[in-house]
């Protein structure tokens, strides 16, 4: 069994097909949700140019993080295989860092060392199994989404003011946490957080002052690029 | 652009024409994606005859869960109020919630001028999150396919900038947007984020403390001081 070259198998057509199946399912779900939401909005009297504006804003905002995912994915592709990187990241639950941690955990469990020349197909089989099932909790939570709404209704008693307060406060809290945890590393990270924060606030306010709501489509996309470049320039 | 303050969703129609089919398709597709996660291991077994033994699975699974379980708890608490039902189906199965799905939902809501946590906000978030999937899945596919060309043609300087500084910049820019929308909660959220980090609390629990703590503050402000979002 040790004669099998795991690197060759790891990038076979089979893993691309597996990635294609999960990605296809994910794309179908997104397409269905999109069509339902858009047709409901249009039937409720929302003009098409408004939904187009939402789409433009989301596309512009997605470009930076998606490019970043692609670049970071290189680490996983080099460490294991491009096919597995696609299978895990196309409809993957974790970050590349998480994936590498899970692969290392699986290798340890199989009595091997991930990244070591002695790594075998046995370690690869363990890695692929553990990486895929490690996200079971999120999948189960997605399956149980309908109950999240019911829990929220029970906790808030359906009070629209409380629902709005909870949603608004959770938004601020989530990104306060992620921003502070990055900024506290100092150096370019602090610069990236502060510059992007100020730039984003300025651009959203500018759109309001100029009464040009379409500017908002670009605000996050521009702010994140400016923050990233500022962080890199500072760090060198 | 339409004045969205005049746009109100009929809750009965929302439940009947939107939410029911979303739950039906979302549940079935999520189950299929869950099952599909086992496909690579099964396929690999048929090709090579290698399948991890139970001891390896249990040890690896145990190690994996020490890392993942806190996030299983923190993420639905944090993201669901923002992205709603359709958004959570996609966040749960496709991932990248904080760095991609939530920012796209938020910008779509901002452009539309609707509030998070409302029925209108949920519909708009569904569009934002879905569109982020249309962008990310094909990009990851072509990125994996053309990995050598990417390494060759993109300057190392730019790739390093993306690898290290895009994520903090995404968080900073979305934070800025949310501070404008929920500024009254921002000082509390900042303190509740900073203190657990300084005390080196596990990141997922620190997120839970920050989110639940800020939610509690918002409830107290509404309940005792009548301050609305």
Structural domain spans, chain B: 4-145, 183-229
User: Looking at the 3D structure of chain A, how many domains does it have?
Assistant: 2
pLDDT at A97: 64
Note whether B50 contacts A125, CB cutoff 8 Å. Answer: yes
* Residue among B108, B78, B171, B184 at smallest CA distance from A64: B171
Do A175 and A91 share a structural domain? no
Is some CB atom of chain B closer than 8 A to the CB atom of A79?
A: no
Q: Which two tokens stand for residue B46?
A: 């048929």
CB atoms within 10 A of CB A39: 13
Q: How far apart are CA A167 and CA B102, in angstroms?
A: 12
Do A109 and A10 share a structural domain? yes
Last residue of a domain, one of A113, A143, A173: A143
Q: How far apart are CA B68 and CA B48, in angstroms?
A: 29
CB A62 within 8 A of CB B168: no
Lowest average pLDDT, out of A48-62, A207-221, B29-43, goes to: A207-221
Give the model confidence (pLDDT) of A149-199 as tens digits.
888 778 877 787 888 888 889 889 989 999 999 999 999 999 999 999 999
| Residues of chain B neighbouring A128 (CB-CB closer than 8 A) | 40-41, 44
Q: How far apart are CA A7 and CA A17, in angstroms?
A: 17
Last residue of a domain, one of A143, A175, A201: A143
Do A133 and A220 share a structural domain? no
Enter the pTM of the model. 0.86
Is some CB atom of chain B closer than 8 A to the CB atom of A155?
A: no
Q: How far apart are CA B202 and CA A35, in angstroms?
A: 39
pLDDT at B150: 82
Is some CB atom of chain A closer than 8 A to the CB atom of B70?
A: no
- Confidence check on the interface: ipTM exceeds 0.90, yes or no: no
List the single residue in B129, B159, B197 with the smallest CB-CB distance to A181: B197
Do A23 and A96 share a structural domain? yes
Note whether B166 contacts A145, CB cutoff 8 Å. Answer: no
Do A204 and A105 share a structural domain? no
Does residue A193 sit within a domain? yes
Q: Which residues contact A177 (CB under 8 A, 6 or more apart)?
A: B189, B193, B197, B206, B207, B210, B211
Q: Which residues contact A215 (CB under 8 A, 6 or more apart)?
A: A203, A206, A207
Q: Which two tokens stand for residue B212?
A: 């639940």
Q: Which residue of B has its CA nearest to A66?
A: B136
CB B228 within 8 A of CB B182: no
Q: In A80-159, which residue ranges form alpha helices assigned H by DSSP?
A: 82-90, 96-109, 121-133, 136-143, 145-156
User: H helices then E strands: how many in chain B?
Assistant: 10, 0
Q: How far apart are CA A177 and CA B193, in angstroms?
A: 5
Do A40 and A68 share a structural domain? yes
Lowest average pLDDT, out of A31-40, A44-53, A115-124, A217-226, goes to: A115-124
Does residue A174 sit within a domain? yes
Do A172 and A57 share a structural domain? no
Do A192 and A164 share a structural domain? yes
Do A163 and A139 share a structural domain? no
Note whether A33 contacts B130, CB cutoff 8 Å. Answer: yes
Do A161 and A106 share a structural domain? no
pLDDT tops 80 at residue B68: no
Q: How far apart are CA B212 and CA B196, in angstroms?
A: 13
Give the model confidence (pLDDT) of B78-129 as tens digits.
888 889 999 999 998 988 888 889 999 999 998 888 888 888 999 999 999 9
Last residue of a domain, one of A82, A108, A143: A143
Q: Which residues contact B199 (CB under 8 A, 6 or more apart)?
A: none
Do A202 and A95 share a structural domain? no
Does residue A149 sit within a domain? no
Do A188 and A127 share a structural domain? no
Give the model confidence (pLDDT) of B163-185 as tens digits.
889 889 989 998 998 899 889 99
Provide DSSP, B120-135. Answer: HHHHHHHHHHHHHHHH
Does residue A152 sit within a domain? no
Q: What is the extent of the structural domain holding A174?
A: 157-235
Does residue A86 sit within a domain? yes
Does residue A80 sit within a domain? yes
């Amino acid at each position: 069994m040790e004669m099998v070259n795991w690197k060759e198998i790891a990038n076979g057509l089979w893993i691309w097909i597996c990635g294609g199946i999960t990605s296809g399912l994910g794309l179908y779900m997104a397409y269905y949700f999109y069509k339902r939401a858009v047709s409901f909005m249009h039937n409720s009297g929302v003009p098409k140019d408004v939904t187009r504006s939402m789409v433009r804003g989301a596309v512009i905002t997605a470009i930076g993080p998606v490019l970043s995912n692609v670049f970071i994915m290189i680490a996983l592709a080099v460490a294991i295989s491009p096919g597995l990187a696609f299978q895990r990241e196309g409809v993957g639950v974790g970050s590349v860092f998480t994936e590498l941690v899970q692969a290392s955990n699986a290798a340890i469990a199989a009595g091997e060392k991930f990244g070591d020349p002695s790594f075998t197909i046995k370690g690869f089989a363990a890695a692929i199994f553990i990486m895929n099932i490690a996200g079971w909790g999120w999948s189960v939570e997605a399956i149980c989404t309908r109950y999240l709404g019911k829990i929220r209704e029970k906790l808030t008693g359906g009070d629209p003011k409380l629902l709005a307060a909870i949603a608004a406060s959770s938004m601020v809290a989530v990104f306060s946490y992620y921003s502070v945890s990055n900024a506290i590393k100092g150096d370019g990270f602090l610069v990236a957080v502060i510059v992007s924060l100020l730039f984003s606030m300025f651009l959203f306010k500018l759109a309001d002052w100029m009464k040009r709501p379409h500017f908002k489509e670009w605000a996050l996309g521009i702010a994140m690029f400016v923050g990233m470049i500022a962080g890199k320039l500072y760090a060198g | 652009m339409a004045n969205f303050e005049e746009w109100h969703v009929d809750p009965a129609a929302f439940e009947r024409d939107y939410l029911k089919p979303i739950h039906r398709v979302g549940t079935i597709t999520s189950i299929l994606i869950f099952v599909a996660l086992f496909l690579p291991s099964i396929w690999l077994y048929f090709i090579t005859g290698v399948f991890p033994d139970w001891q390896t699975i249990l040890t690896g699974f145990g190690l994996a869960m020490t890392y993942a379980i806190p996030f299983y708890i923190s993420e639905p608490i944090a993201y669901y109020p923002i992205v709603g039902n359709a958004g959570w189906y996609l966040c749960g199965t496709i991932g990248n919630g904080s760095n991609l799905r939530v920012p796209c939902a938020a910008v779509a809501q901002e452009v539309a001028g609707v509030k998070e946590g409302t029925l209108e906000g949920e519909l708009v978030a569904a569009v934002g999150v879905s569109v982020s999937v249309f962008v990310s899945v094909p990009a990851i596919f072509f990125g994996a396919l053309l990995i050598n060309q990417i390494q060759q043609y993109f300057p190392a300087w730019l790739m390093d900038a993306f690898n290290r500084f895009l994520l903090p910049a995404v968080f900073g820019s979305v934070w800025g947007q949310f501070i404008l929308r929920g500024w009254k909660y921002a000082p509390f959220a900042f303190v509740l984020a900073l203190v657990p980090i300084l005390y080196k609390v596990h990141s997922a629990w620190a997120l839970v403390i920050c989110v639940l703590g800020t939610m509690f503050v918002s409830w107290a402000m509404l309940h005792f001081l009548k301050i609305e979002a």
